[in-house]
Amino acid sequence: MKEFRGFVIKEFYHIFRDKRTMLVLFGMPLAMMLLFGFVITNEIKDVNIAVLDRSKDEVTRDITSRLVSSGYFKLYDNLNNDKEIGKVFRRGIVKEVVIFEPGFGRRLEKERIANIQILADASDANFANLITNYTSAIIRNYVNETNHQQTFPYQIVPEVRMVYNPELKGVYLFVPGIMAMILMLISALMTSVSIVREKELGTMEVLLVSPLKPIQIIIGKVMPYVALSFINAIIIVILGYWVFELPVQGNIILLMAECLLFIMLALSLGILISTATESQQIAMMLSMVALVLPTILLSGFIFPIENMPKILQWLCVLMPPKYFIIILKNIMLKGTGLAYVWKETLTMIGFTVFFIVMASKKFKVRLE
Amino acid sequence: MRTILYIIQKEFIQVFRNKAMLPIIFVIPIVQLIILVNAATMEIKHIRLAVVDKDLSQTSRKYISKFNGSPFYVIDQYTFSMDEAENELKKGNIDAIIQIPSGFERKLVRESQSKIQVIVNAINGVVAGITNAYIQNMTIGYNIEVVTAIAGKPTIMNPPADININYSYWYNPQLNYKNFMVPAVLVILVTLIGMFLSGLNLVREKELGTIEQINVTPIRKYQFIAGKLIPFWVLALTELAFGLFVGKVLFNIPILGSIWLLFGVAAIYLVVVLSIGLLISTMTNTQQQAMFVMFFVMLVCIMMSGIFTATETMPGWAQRIDYLNPIYYFMRTVRMILLKGSGFKDIINEIICLMVFAFAMLRMAIWRYKKTA
């Protein structure tokens, strides 16, 4: 037992001495939270548009100033002819062009109908969709206001209630994913690399001939990463609470227990990878492709799984982070208890057991 | 010059000798293109609804059928119990609930106003926002229909003024999100391969101690850096060509602009990326450290480059920081060249910025690399 303690202490020294990695490890959750919280948004503000006004009357000027004063758009340029449209789009600054037909105001007055054309740069399809929706909402509002004397005699009024995230903040969606990613990164990737490193540098041999049992070596190696991951999980929860006012609705003990379970799962994966590879670069590439990428893409972190093609949805079933993210969303945002997530929890336990069995089968005590 | 050639030769031999490296270089692009492009859909569809219709009148049924007709929504469940629906929402089996109270139609006719409740799981704010907008818009339209249905004919004598809005989506009329993602994947691919290969390479020599042997040779600093850069520069450009080819075959992405221009920009951009990789590896001591720093730098830069969401939606300060982000320029230009056919004149500013970066980063990498251990 004394040897084991010594070994664990050595491992802790190893990791905590490495200032640069520590900086990244603790800077990462912070940067990710800020990034996703503030930067990855769908808010529209001051988007550059251009206007091709073939009418130049009071109404068109009115609508243009409506668009600009909404705060969503900024008038970048007044165009004079069709040819300029392609030019401004190709330069990539203007995202939308609004075209008023000749005699716009007169037609609206006399014929009660007039035409506006909205051209959007749809090389970014979603963004184009979003800004054209905003533009048409502003124009419709204008029309409604000019028709204000008429109201409908019968009205259905929808009362919409946004549950779990009343202010529609983007962070709510991302926090569980960030947590999964960082835990995966530290637990699986760091572990696999640090074990393979001992192999590559030849120091594994020294450890294997020591009186420590292989199981003790492995446990000793992963201990610091368990601690690190756990601290990071707590940091993320606290950050979410302080910076983004994201409360933990459910039971915090349950939340931490699920985090620990996921850390175990990731560690066992890391160990499995380390038993299968011989060089750090391969271990890294494997971890990146097999762990980090799926955690970002195939777990419902950023992209909803329901929207993917069927084959990818089946692939998602095999991704452990998917279950963790579902659990986190339930406990943190919806405030549900174990009764709602027992299936996911069991699945994660199953994964962990499977990986540990696989790893212990592949683990070699001898170097060939 | 001969010295550089020898170093290049050595690097190539090393890369091709590593059996696992080649598959990684050529399999990753295909896997990434297939998975990333298909998985990364921000398209909103299949929002699952539960309907609690306690009125079961003609008006309520018609109202609900409006959701059935929309491409965004799927009515997943009909139930009469609100508790059951809320439970399903908690379990995550549905995304929103529409409740129509009993006496809905009667109230509408008698009091000329009637309410319905909509409960949306707003964890995904974008979906919630769009659902809200859709419901509001659709209800306004439905109100007009109801007037005709109940009163028999439009009661409004003076026709309201109306503006007819015509949309046209340039460069991508079908609003196909894949067109947007394929260029992005190419950018990631080139960046990933370039930065990791160059970055890990030098630090590996440090870790294994072979750098000492090079340090005692008469090889000059710039020769060494050049010898390390050029092989990966060639590899990454090959990778880009390969990725472009796969993208064309698999997704038939539009290539409107000049391929030569694309490769020209990529050549400059790669100098930036490779120099950053080398710079990181001169500053770190182990591959693990280098990898972590690189991963961190890349993640932040890629996320801020406008890969998934337009940079215009970011707050002002973030947009200003982006002027220092080389991936931002490359992401922009690749999309502009491929999707819009932008020419040299349109992207001259981005090219100049990338050149400045390339020069600065290369100088930094050479300066930081010290021959003394």
B131 and B34, same structural domain? no
Contact B112 A169 (CB under 8 A): no
Does A340 contact B at CB distance below 8 Å? Answer: yes
Domain assignment of residue B307, yes or no: yes
B327 and B204, same structural domain? yes
Q: What is the pLDDT of residue B150?
A: 64
Nearest to B163 among A31, A39, A139 (CB): A139
* Domain final residue pick, B101, B136, B151: B151
Does A25 contact B at CB distance below 8 Å? Answer: yes
Residues of A with CB below 8 A from B169's CB?
Answer: 119-120, 122, 125, 128, 132
Taking CA atoms, what residue in B is nearest to A132?
A: B167
Q: Is the pLDDT of residue A115 over 80?
A: yes
Residues 205-234 of A with CB under 8 A from B: none
Q: What is the pLDDT of residue A366?
A: 62
Does A112 contact B at CB distance below 8 Å? Answer: yes
Domain assignment of residue B167, yes or no: no
B51 and B32, same structural domain? no
Reported ipTM: the value is: 0.75
pLDDT band at A64 (very low <50, low <70, confident <90, very high): very high
pLDDT band at A293 (very low <50, low <70, confident <90, very high): confident
B134 and B34, same structural domain? no
Taking CA atoms, what residue in B is nearest to A131?
A: B313
On average, the pLDDT of chain A sits at 84
pLDDT band at A351 (very low <50, low <70, confident <90, very high): very high
Taking CA atoms, what residue in A is nearest to B118?
A: A160
Global confidence as pTM:
0.79
Residues of B with CB below 8 A from A117's CB?
Answer: 165-168
B218 and B124, same structural domain? no
Nearest to A302 among B92, B115, B308 (CB): B308
Q: What is the pLDDT of residue B287?
A: 82
Domain assignment of residue B373, yes or no: no
pLDDT band at B265 (very low <50, low <70, confident <90, very high): very high
Q: Is the pLDDT of residue B73 over 70?
A: yes
B185 and B106, same structural domain? no
A307, A316, A344, best to mutate vs chain B, most B CBs in 10 Å: A307
SS (H, E, C) chain A: CHHHHHHHHHHHHHHHHCHHHHHHHHHHHHHHHHHHHHHCCCCCCCEEEEEEECCCCHHHHHHHHHHHHCCCEEEEEEECCCHHHHHHHHHCCCCEEEEECCCHHHHHHHCCEEEEEEEEECCCHHHHHHHHHHHHHHHHHHHHHHCCCCCCCCEEEEEEEEECCCCCCHHHHHHHHHHHHHHHHHHHHHHHHHHHHHHHHCHHHHHHHCCCCHHHHHHHHHHHHHHHHHHHHHHHHHHHHHHHCCCCCCCHHHHHHHHHHHHHHHHHHHHHHHHHCCCHHHHHHHHHHHHHHHHHHCCCCCCCHHHCCHHHHHHHHCCHHHHHHHHHHHHHHHCCCHHHHHHHHHHHHHHHHHHHHHHHHHCCCCCC
Name the residue range of residue B304's domain.
Answer: 2-40+174-368
Contact A139 B124 (CB under 8 A): no
Taking CA atoms, what residue in A is nearest to B142?
A: A156
Q: What is the pLDDT of residue B160?
A: 65
Q: How do residues A120-163 score in pLDDT, each as one tens digit?
A: 988 887 788 778 878 887 887 787 777 765 555 667 777 888 88
Taking CA atoms, what residue in B is nearest to A332?
A: B123
B315 and B337, same structural domain? yes
B338 and B225, same structural domain? yes
* Domain final residue pick, B151, B184, B204: B151
B53 and B28, same structural domain? no
Q: How do residues B239-252 score in pLDDT, each as one tens digit?
A: 899 889 988 888 88
Domain assignment of residue B158, yes or no: no
Q: What is the pLDDT of residue B367?
A: 87
* For chain B, percent of residues with pLDDT exceeding 90: 13
Q: Is the pLDDT of residue B63 over 60?
A: yes
User: Which one of A178-182, A345-349, B289-293 scores highest in mean pLDDT?
Assistant: A345-349
Q: How do residues A154-201 score in pLDDT, each as one tens digit?
A: 677 778 888 888 777 777 878 888 888 888 888 888 888 888 888 888
Contact A193 B291 (CB under 8 A): yes
Does A330 contact B at CB distance below 8 Å? Answer: yes
As for how many domains chain B has, the answer is: 2
Q: How do residues B12-42 score in pLDDT, each as one tens digit?
A: 887 777 776 777 777 777 777 888 788 776 6
Contact B118 A157 (CB under 8 A): no
For the residues B279-305, what does the mean pLDDT come to?
Answer: 85
Q: How do residues B99-142 score in pLDDT, each as one tens digit?
A: 888 888 888 888 878 888 888 888 877 777 777 777 776 777 77
